[in-house]
Amino acid sequence: MQRVVLLEHNLAEASRMARLLAEQGFEVEITKTPVEAIQACQKSPPDLVVTDMPEKRTDADDMSFIKWLHQHQRQVPIVLSLSRNEEICALQALETGAVSYIRKRLLEQDLPQTLKNTYGLLQRMTGQKRIRKALVRAHFQYQLENDPTLTPAVLAGVEDELKLTSLFERADITRMIIGLHEAIDNAIFHGNLEVSSALRDAGATKSYFELAESRRHLSPYHERHVDFEMQLSREGAEFLIRDEGPGFNPQALPNPTAAANLERPSGRGLLLIRSFFDEVEYSPTGSELRLKKKATRSASEVK
């Protein structure tokens, strides 16, 4: 059974989250302070950490729990649990080293899918050795159906290729895959199937997915595809996601770091994409997204 260290200052919230985590098959160790959480991780590195926005430690290091993890147990994925008034801090936390976040007010909705995407990816990485290859340049191109259930399988292959380059830290690979998952979902749902994010933002998640499923089998949506390309080199990775929908004006995209937009599912996806890549560029028509990530390990560092 996989072990989760949960840092939550509110006892009622901790019990609620521990129950949901246990339902997902995790063994949960609840901690109430950053010091307790660090001690739990020092005792035995967990498979996953779920933490609320950490307070500053009171010792001489004055280092937050999330920063401590990022420095001392970088391989452990960190998922943040945020209350409404903390969502504005999500960008800063993601930049610090977290791989995703869930909203406490939407815990039942966010937690299962976030754990599936985050831990499922890292579980596949466990026990695999990185292979050094004399990569000069590689190009991969996929034409995807409008079936979101196939995306994890495609990204599993992308993950393997990224590992083989040995030019990215494990955490960077995790963050790229999560960002790519969001980008491909956007191309399928909003681009090809033309399902408005306003449905999810309004809380009609069931209607959102039902509409998408029905349109998958109707013309003209059924004929559309998502082109997904990946180019790898010693300098890093570049991705292109192109849908065949009507497009949109990229200038009209809401600022994902604005407090109001962080509360929306659509804002969450954009925030993750922009946080996990060095360059994010839309085509003028909005139907093409180009993402770039510079290598975080040089060839001389690869053993």
Task: Check: CB of residue 294 under 8 Å from CB of residue 235.
Answer: yes
Supply the pTM of this predicted model: 0.60
pLDDT of residue 132: 44
**Residue 258 falls inside a structural domain:** yes
* 279 is a domain residue: yes
Same domain, 89 and 161: no
Both 175 and 286 in a single domain?
A: yes
Q: Do 148 and 264 belong to one domain?
A: yes
Residue with the bigger pLDDT between 106 and 132: it is 106
Average pLDDT over residues 11-39: 90
pLDDT of residue 230: 97
Q: What CATH number is associated with residue 186?
A: 3.30.565.10
Residues 172 and 96 placed together within one structural domain of the fold: no
Count of structural domains, the chain: 2
Confidence (pLDDT) at 27: 92
On whether both 121 and 157 belong to a single domain, the answer is no
Is 212 among the domain residues? yes
Residue 241, domain member (yes or no):
yes
Mean pLDDT to the nearest integer, 23-44: 91
Higher-scoring residue by pLDDT: 295, 52: 295
The sign of the dihedral angle between the CA atoms of 253, 257, 263, 268 is positive
Quick one: pLDDT band at residue 71, thresholds 50, 70, 90? confident
Residue 303 has pLDDT above 60, yes or no: no
When the pLDDT of each residue in the chain is averaged and rounded to a whole number, the result is 82
Give me the domain span that covers residue 48: 2-125
Q: Are residues 47 and 177 in the same domain?
A: no
Flag whether pLDDT at 61 surpasses 50: no
Rg (CA), the chain: 19
Above 70 in pLDDT, residue 171?
Answer: yes
> What CATH number is attached to the domain comprising 69?
3.40.50.2300
pLDDT exceeding 70 applies to what percent of the chain? 79
Each residue of 173-191: b (16+ CB within 10 Å) or e? bbbbbbbbbbbbbbbbbbb
Do 142 and 64 reside in the same domain of the chain? no
156 and 264 assigned to the same domain = yes
According to the model, what pLDDT value does residue 215 have? 95
The pLDDT, as a whole number, for residue 120 is 65
The arithmetic mean of pLDDT across residues 268-285, rounded, is 89
Q: Which two tokens stand for residue 108?
A: 């039942």
Q: Are residues 253 and 169 in the same domain?
A: yes
145 and 118 in a common domain: no
Regarding whether 115 and 20 lie in a shared domain, the answer is yes
Q: Is residue 226 part of a domain?
A: yes
The domain boundary, picked from 125, 158, 183, lies at 125
Domain for residue 130, yes or no?
A: no
86 vs 35, residue with greater confidence: 35
Residue 159 in this model has a pLDDT that exceeds 60: yes
Tens of pLDDT, residue by residue over 226-267, are 999 999 998 999 999 999 999 888 887 766 666 655 556 556
Domain boundary among 72, 94, 125: 125
107 in the same domain as 151: no
**Residue 166 is assigned to a structural domain of this protein:** yes
State the Cα–Cα distance between residues 173 and 272, nearest whole angstrom.
Answer: 13
Answer yes or no: is 131 within a domain: no
Neighbouring residues of 118: CB distance < 8 A, sequence distance ≥ 6: 48, 77, 79, 99, 100, 174, 178
